[in-house]
Chains A and B, each alone.
Chain A
Amino acid sequence: MKHDQVIELLPWFLNGTLAADEQHSIEAHLEHCEECGRQLSEFRALSDAAAELSDETPEEPEGLFARVLADIDGLEAEARAPTAATATSSGLLTRALRGLEAWWEPLTRPTRLALATQSVALIATLGLLVTLWSPTGSLQTLSGPEGVAMSDQAHLIVGFHDGVAELELRELLVELDGQIVHGPSSIGLYTIELSFPRREQARLAALIAALRERSELLRFVEPAR
């Protein structure tokens, strides 16, 4: 081992974390190198000084862990809230998903692929039709799709990550008990009409919070106003 390499490794020679071969090489080098012996003494002085300073470190404050647990309680309560809000639809949802699975599972792989491709094409065509149908050519904002009559139902604007399968998109629609009423927009956003009225703001907020947790699927979730 070269002289410079030995100097670089001295701190770890001191803390005893070097591999055995490195440790032995340094021991051998130290036997005849005065400079490295001096460097080792200096690193030892640094190590001792740091250790003395650490003795002056105050104890961690009392109640820290309890405060962290209280925060965790808060986080878990937030996570549970949307479950309650969507409880009504979840039974229906599970049944619908099971039905979909029962229908989907027996299909052969080529048939699934063909169906998925056709569905994607159909959704894209519908999206294009809705876009072309728009009476105005103005810039679309995230506050809601222009040119589409918004009913009194609650609406969401969502964006999926690239590569999300069409089946996942359909599953989400079943889960939300919603339907796409607009999209994809030029930036790939969909407007989804939900099964409950717009006035149920708390329910909508809880649903949005739950959807934002699903960051593996969705890159954007906002209410449509």
Chain B
Amino acid sequence: MARSSKTTEASLVERTAKGDRDAFEQLYNIYRKRLFGYLFRVVGDATGAEDLAHEVLLEIWKSAGRFEGRSKVSTWIFGIAHNKALAALRKRRPMVDLDDSPEIADGRESVERAMELGEMKTLFRQYLTSLSADHREVVELAFLQGLSYADCAEILDCPVATVKTRVFYAKQQLKNMASGYGA
């Protein structure tokens, strides 16, 4: 089933490369919601996400001929989206790589005592948008897009070890924010 879906999507890209607009529209319909949601949650505003979605779609149309099928179509599309979002965020403000930031205090003790898991979810939700773009993006790819760590690493163009560390630190950061330790 998964293989069949992959093959279908790859054939849509192949037809798009030949200028087939119906195939391009089918591809758009498969990814429209996921793509816009991803961009919205990474850049944080609807107008920015719309501009980026426009750019990503144009790039898909222009570069479909260079898709060689070595990665999944979803990885290729989110790779384009990641690069566009990253460029937009760089224009807005200097990027801070929180993987290199000072050690994050572990607020586990107080949080564990203070919160039941239901509460933790509510607090996490409240602070998720305060995470850095790097951390929001990896949470998005792992939990909302449901991608493997290898696909996440390919999209983010970083080692697998970095992806794993980043998710863990995202969670730690949220715990610290929730318990009053974090920014």
Contact = CB atoms under 8 A, between A and B. Distances in A.
A204 to B, nearest CB: 25
Contact of A58 (B21, B40, B124, B167): B40
B68 interface: no
B33 A15 contact: no
A49 B58 contact: no
Interface in A17-58: 17-18, 38, 41-54, 57-58
A60 B33 contact: yes
B65 interface: no
A190 to B, nearest CB: 29
B58 A53 contact: no
A199 interface: no
A38 B106 CA distance: 14
B164 A9 contact: yes
Given A43-B171, A45-B120, A61 B28 contact: no
A32 B129 CA distance: 35
Interface residues of B, number: 45
A205 B121 CA distance: 60
B21 A12 contact: no
Interface stretch (A66-74, A87-95, A136-144): A66-74
A15 B143 contact: yes
B125 A53 contact: yes
A41 B168 CA distance: 13
Nearest to A55: B37
Interface string B53-74: 1100110011000000000000
A58 B46 CA distance: 7
A41 B170 contact: no
Nearest to A61: B50
B168 A50 contact: no
A49 B174 CA distance: 11
A61 B36 CA distance: 9
Interface secondary structure of A, over-half rule:
helix
Contact of B41 (A14, A44, A57): A57
A35 to B, nearest CB: 10
A200 to B, nearest CB: 30
B125 to A, nearest CB: 4
A7 interface: yes
B7 interface: no
B21 A53 contact: no
A45 B121 contact: yes
B92 to A, nearest CB: 20
Nearest to B120: A45
B174 A60 contact: no
A166 to B, nearest CB: 28
A11 interface: yes
A203 to B, nearest CB: 26
Contacts of B165: 8
Given A9-B164, A53-B129, A67-B54, A46 B139 contact: yes
Can you list the 8 inter-chain pairs with the closest CB atoms, starting with the nearest?
A60-B36, A49-B124, A49-B125, A17-B148, A8-B164, A47-B143, A45-B121, A45-B120
20 contacts: A7-B168, A9-B164, A11-B143, A17-B146, A17-B151, A18-B148, A45-B117, A46-B124, A46-B143, A47-B143, A49-B122, A49-B124, A50-B140, A53-B128, A60-B32, A60-B36, A64-B36, A64-B57, A71-B54, A72-B61
Interface of B: 21, 25, 28, 32-33, 35-37, 40-41, 46, 50, 53-54, 57-58, 61-62, 112, 117, 120-122, 124-125, 128-129, 139-140, 142-144, 146-149, 151, 164-165, 167-168, 170-171, 174-175
